[in-house]
Structure 1
Amino acid sequence: MKKTTSSFYDILGISSASICLIHCLIFPILTILPLGISHNPIIDLVFASIGLFAILKITKKSNLLVSSILIVSMCLIWISILTDIFLEIHLDLIYFGGIGMITGHLINYKFHRKQKH
């Protein structure tokens, strides 16, 4: 049962981080177009909250490498989002954090699948 639950959180984390990364990469292009769309860091905050929920569940049961990757990546994402909200400075740390989140969740997912077989 624990393996299934961990896989669920890995899939949730991979999905959230992938959608967030796509959002962060495509959104600057959309702001160039005259569509009247403006950047809202609250959307980033929603993605980060989902990711934080997933890594809190995963880091309790994962190895040191996966936990470290996920925690460092989440810190990079939160630093970037909070800097954007409070200082209105856009940092590229969010991209590295998103890639790290996807990588950490994939490693953890593959590790649990390997244990299952």
Structure 2
Amino acid sequence: MFTSLRKSDFIGVVSSALCLIHCLATPFLFIAQAHSAHVNEAKPIWWSCLDIIFLVLSFMAIYKTAGSTTKKWVKQLLWFNWALLTFIIVNEKVHWLPLPEAVVYFPSIALIALHIYNSKYCHCDDTECCVNNV
């Protein structure tokens, strides 16, 4: 159980960190594209698909981590931040609310921090402590 918990936290940290890097790199991609193309402002389709890929990877990592963490508040914060990140990304695509670009960084950083915290402090001392944890 412990190695499974560590793997899901590692996947969560990596996917959240890559998502954060992706969000940070987007403005630089547009600047580089503007200098080279002068006309086309559209994001490449593969770049937009990365959002969904990171959300799916993050969902799987949180699902596994939430099922085996020893801290109920960590589970709740993981799901809250994932839902917030999902809302922000969907909002970015459909333009429900005018939100600043930087708002996406907060749930991404929170997910990274929560996975790191969980991997360090939410350990099971035996194989039974994480099973059906409430």
Q: Is TM more than 0.5 here? A: yes
Indicate conservation of the 8 Å contact 2:59/2:82, yes or no. yes
| Residue in structure 2 matching 1:41, options 24, 36, 48 | 48
- TM-score with structure 1 length normalisation? 0.84
In structure 2, runs of 5+ residues without a counterpart are 127-134
Structure of higher RCO (CA pairs closer than 8 Å, 6+ residues apart): 2
- Could you give the per-residue CA deviations for residues 50-90 of structure 1, whole angstroms, max 9, x where no partner exists? 00111011111211221122112101110011112222866
Aligned length: 115
Secondary structure of the corresponding residue to residue 60 of structure 1: helix
Q: Which moved more, 1:86-95 or 1:20-29?
A: 86-95
- TM-score with structure 2 length normalisation? 0.74
* Structure 1 consecutive aligned stretches of length 4 or more whose deviation exceeds 6 Å: none
CA distance in 2, matches of 1:35, 1:43: 22
Indicate conservation of the 8 Å contact 2:2/2:124, yes or no. no
Q: CA RMSD in A?
A: 2.3
Percent identity among equivalent residues? 25
Between structures 1 and 2, the one with greater helix share: 1
Indicate conservation of the 8 Å contact 1:7/1:112, yes or no. no
| Residue in structure 2 matching 1:70, options 60, 67, 78 | 78
- Could you give the per-residue CA deviations for residues 11-67 of structure 1, whole angstroms, max 9, x where no partner exists? 000001011101101221221123457264321111011001110111112112211
Q: Which moved more, 1:79-88 or 1:95-104?
A: 79-88
**Structure of higher CA gyration radius:** 2
In structure 1, runs of 5+ residues without a counterpart are none
CA distance in 1, matches of 2:66, 2:93: 27
Letter in 1 for 2:95: L
Indicate conservation of the 8 Å contact 1:3/1:112, yes or no. no
CA distance in 2, matches of 1:79, 1:69: 15
